[in-house]
Amino acid sequence: MSEPSEDFKTKEHAEICDNTEKQDKKFVTNLGTNDPEAGAPEPNKTGDALADPDSRIAELQAELTKYKDAALRATADLDNYRKRVSRERDESTKFANTAFLERLIPILDNFELGLQAARNAPEAAPIVSGLAMVYKQLQDFLTDSGVETIDATGQTFDPNLHEALAQEENHKIPEGKVIRQVRKGYRLRDRLLRPANVVVSKGAPQQVAAGGEGE
């Protein structure tokens, strides 16, 4: 078989070089595009994320601040909850006997009336001392339980502690003062169990007051 002529080799070589040169130009021209078919590489996402480190740091700091605020709010809510539970527990312990004492007080009233009646009856003299001792024990029990008797006689009328049953004119006791106490009042520490029933002075009668001014 005969070898190709020199002219053929030269022509074939020229065509190969020309094609190679065209491919190189096409590649260079399309380097800046995002077309994968044009030979341009795909963008590096990791590189884009690190392209602006200050922006990424700002994002992370914002997230950190958000989670810190959430943690502080959760801590504050928990602390408030603990305080509320502790306060409610103390209140429950302090006033646990309220219902019992409210039922006991009327019984104590009746016992006191019976004791007064026994003191006025000569034939009951032998048992008065025993009743008086029991009455004192009941009073001591109330005191130890935190119950305080409201003594309203001679005091200024206080609607928070007293319940006015009537008003009477009295030239000796100023207006607004309690003339007498009809029924004792009681309070458990700072909580009112029962107001004192009282009669309140209206002051001196009008005609007496007018005569006094004329003098």
**pLDDT of 82 strictly over 60:** yes
The one-character DSSP state at 5 is P
Domain 150-208 fold:
Nucleotide Exchange Factor Grpe; Chain A, domain 2 (2.30.22)
Q: State the average pLDDT for the chain.
A: 78
- Would you say 193 and 102 are in contact if contact means Cβ atoms under 8 Å apart? yes
Domains of the chain: which residue ranges? 95-145, 150-208
- Range 17-37 average pLDDT: 54
pLDDT band at residue 30, thresholds of 50, 70 and 90? Answer: low
Handedness of CA 55, 61, 65, 70 (dihedral sign): positive
Instruction: Look at residue 126 in the predicted model and tell me its pLDDT.
Output: 78
What pLDDT is recorded for position 124?
Answer: 75
Give the pLDDT confidence of 118-168 residue by residue, as tens digits.
888 877 777 888 888 888 999 999 999 889 999 899 999 999 999 999 999
pTM of the complete model: 0.54
Q: What is the C-alpha separation between 13 and 27, in angstroms, rounded?
A: 21
pLDDT in tens, 173-192: 999 999 999 999 999 988 89
